[in-house]
């Protein structure tokens, strides 16, 4: 019997028991769809986190101050005031840090803004002109703060998209007056939308010169202190060198001889990304493993139905063997039937998974990223499971003695 005849016979056997074959394929179908969707959800979450972190800026290093100690209790990193504008100025030197392209010290606090009868509470960020490029932001209308604005302690502000909309609606904010913590300022520009990061709405901010923030908004005795210093390396290849240059210079400026005793911390973009995606990756593997179990259950269903098929067709098997069919041909026939069930279940499961990936994001507001590897792999595994779980029934059929098979009722 040729392969074409074997395949035709296998397909005919599957078609002759449509309901039973459909129920058998259902387990594999659900398993394949579950694998595609769980892997897609995991990769979609990782892509979302990666996009949020990349939105912070390219080739980014973040220098944060150290921790405070109060009554023997240590606060977390960032709770002290160990970084100053002088530290940021030192890191701008191409002699000290040749692999650092731009430096943007920042201070931030929540403040009340008002424009006419409209009021809004937003994050007010005091910074320098380099902030725009370091944070990979873009001007929508008007202009960004300049070096002259910083030198003059100018009462000007640049509004992010959400803040501008809440205060001015559809009107153009540029040139309009706004008060920030009661301080009158002039809007000189707006930023394009950037979305939200892990814990900050990047579109709900008011950017002011760092000197203006220190003198008129933040105040206090630590006017030269900054909350963070954002550093942009010259390229992705020099990120490590920029890290070492910043670390060495700050240790020297703070007169710290032991790196472990540093009163600041430097975080790279890659370390943030690695930490943020590790949980998503672990959950993806876990959920894909759970979904894979349903594929095994589907395989058991294939074995069960093939054993039933062998039992029902004992006389047919005996007749074929009596007419000269070899055990190999009988084994191939039942393996083809099991493969067809696995392949059909895999293809239908893939179609269901792709449909779910297109529909679910509109219902759960989370992205689903289709993985070609997971999709093709699921189909291959579905066929492999069909074959693997069909081996025993096929072997059992091939070993039947013709006389005993023909005598069977």
* Distance separating alpha carbons of residues 218 and 124, to the nearest angstrom: 10
Max mean pLDDT among 68-77, 160-169, 281-290 falls in 160-169
* Of 25, 27, 31, nearest in space to 377 by CA: 31
Name the percent of the chain lying above pLDDT 70.
82
pTM of the predicted model as reported, rounded to 2 decimal places = 0.60
Contact 126, 106 (CB under 8 A): yes
β 73-74/69-70 pair status: antiparallel
Query: Does the pLDDT value for residue 79 go beyond 90?
Result: no
Predicted confidence at residue 78, as pLDDT, reads: 45
CB atoms within 10 A of CB 29: 25
pLDDT (tens digit, 9 = 90+) per residue, 107-163?
A: 999 999 999 899 999 999 999 999 998 988 899 999 999 999 999 999 999 999 999
Task: Identify the band that residue 73 occupies on the pLDDT scale cut at 50, 70 and 90.
Answer: very low
Q: What is the mean pLDDT of residues 327-339?
A: 78
* Distance separating alpha carbons of residues 376 and 308, to the nearest angstrom: 30
What are the structure tokens assigned to 88, written together?
């940021």
pLDDT (tens digit, 9 = 90+) per residue, 196-249?
A: 654 567 899 999 999 999 988 876 556 788 999 999 988 878 888 999 999 999
Sequential DSSP letters for 331-376: HHHHHHHHHHHHHHHHHHHHHHHHHHHHHHHHHH-------HHHHH
Residue 95 CA neighbour count, 13 Å, CB half: 2
Sequential DSSP letters for 59-107: SEEEEEE---EETTEE--TTSS---BHHHHHHHT-TTT-TTEEEEEEEE
Q: What is the mean pLDDT of residues 90-106?
A: 93
Contact 80, 63 (CB under 8 A): no
Q: Which residue has the higher pLDDT, 72 or 18?
A: 18
Mean pLDDT check: name the lowest of 36-40, 173-177, 282-286, 361-365.
Answer: 282-286
pLDDT (tens digit, 9 = 90+) per residue, 46-66?
A: 777 666 666 665 688 899 987
What are the structure tokens assigned to 93, written together?
């030197």
């Amino acid at each position: 019997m040729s392969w074409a005849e074997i395949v035709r016979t296998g397909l005919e056997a599957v078609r002759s028991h449509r309901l039973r074959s459909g129920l058998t394929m259902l387990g594999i179908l659900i398993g394949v769809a579950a694998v595609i969707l769980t892997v897609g959800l995991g990769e979609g979450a990782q892509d979302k986190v990666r996009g949020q972190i990349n939105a912070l800026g390219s080739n980014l290093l973040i220098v944060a101050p150290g921790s405070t100690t109060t009554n023997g209790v240590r606060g977390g990193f960032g709770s002290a005031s160990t970084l100053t504008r002088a530290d940021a100025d030192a890191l701008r030197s191409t002699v000290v840090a040749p692999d650092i392209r731009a430096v943007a010290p920042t201070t931030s606090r929540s403040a009340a803004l008002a424009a006419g009868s409209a009021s809004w509470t937003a994050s007010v960020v005091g910074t320098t002109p380099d902030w725009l490029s370091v944070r990979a932001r873009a001007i929508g209308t008007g202009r960004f703060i300049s070096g002259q604005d910083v030198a003059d302690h100018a009462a000007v502000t640049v509004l992010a998209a959400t803040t501008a909309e809440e205060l001015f609606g559809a009107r153009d904010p540029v040139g309009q007056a706004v008060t920030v913590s009661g301080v009158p300022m002039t809007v000189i520009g707006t930023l394009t939308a950037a979305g939200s990061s892990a814990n900050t709405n990047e579109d709900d901010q008011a950017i002011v010169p760092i000197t203006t923030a220190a003198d008129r908004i933040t105040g206090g005795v630590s006017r030269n202190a900054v909350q963070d210093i954002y550093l942009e390396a010259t390229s992705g290849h020099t990120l490590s060198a920029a890290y070492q240059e910043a670390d060495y210079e700050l240790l020297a400026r703070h007169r710290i001889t032991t790196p472990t005793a540093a009163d600041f911390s430097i975080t790279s973009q890659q370390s943030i990304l690695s930490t943020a995606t590790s949980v998503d990756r672990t959950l993806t593997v876990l959920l894909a493993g759970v979904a894979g179990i349903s594929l095994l259950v589907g395989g058991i269903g294939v074995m069960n139905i093939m054993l039933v098929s062998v039992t029902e067709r004992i006389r047919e098997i005996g007749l074929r063997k009596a007419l000269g069919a070899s055990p190999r041909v009988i084994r191939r026939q039942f393996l083809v039937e099991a493969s067809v069930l696995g392949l059909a279940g895999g293809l239908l499961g893939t179609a269901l998974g792709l449909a779910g990936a297109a529909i679910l994001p509109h219902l759960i507001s989370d992205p689903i990223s289709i993985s070609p590897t997971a999709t093709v792999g699921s189909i291959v595994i579905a066929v492999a499971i069909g074959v693997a779980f069909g081996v025993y029934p096929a072997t059992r059929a091939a070993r039947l003695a013709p006389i005993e098979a023909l005598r069977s009722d």
